[in-house]
Amino acid sequence: MSTRSASLEHARAVANVGEGCPDCIDPLIFRSWKRCLEEGGFDPFRRQDPIVLTAAELRERRQRIEHLIRFADPEIENLHQAFARSGFAIILTDADGIVLHHLTDEGLRTEFRSSGLWLGADWGEIRTGTNGIGTCLTAVPASPKVPR
């Protein structure tokens, strides 16, 4: 399928959401697109650069969950080793979808950074649109418990 055909197919699917056709796509994606359109005023037809926090804003957010980052860091490192050279990154966000910690294969850092998968990037669904990070945080809210 050409890029143009895929774009047209995607545009039709988004239009169906606006017309209330939940059977046209996966229900999780339908609900996400609907939230983005109705609550966020998100324009799915406009390319948007990643939203990235300033260094001071990132530092403040990291400080809020520093205990969680320290607790998770050894496991993040283990996962990174297990998935080394696989094309994946290990990313930890806060409840708003802000990337606070990550490990990425060195060869993919430039690609991930240009895609907005970097420290301080905002992947909240309403601000960024349907995506794996923001949609999971919105559709399946979690309340992690950290031992003290």
CA–CA dist 69, 74 (Å, integer): 9
Residue range(s) defining the domain that contains residue 9: 1-47
**Is residue 19 assigned to a domain?**
yes
Residues in the chain: 148
Q: What are the pLDDT digits (tens) for 49-95?
A: 888 999 999 999 999 999 999 999 999 999 988 888 888 888 999 99
Contact 116, 98 (CB under 8 A): no
In the predicted model, is pLDDT for residue 15 greater than 80?
Answer: no
Domain count, the chain: 2
Residue 67 forms part of a structural domain: yes
pTM of this structure: 0.76
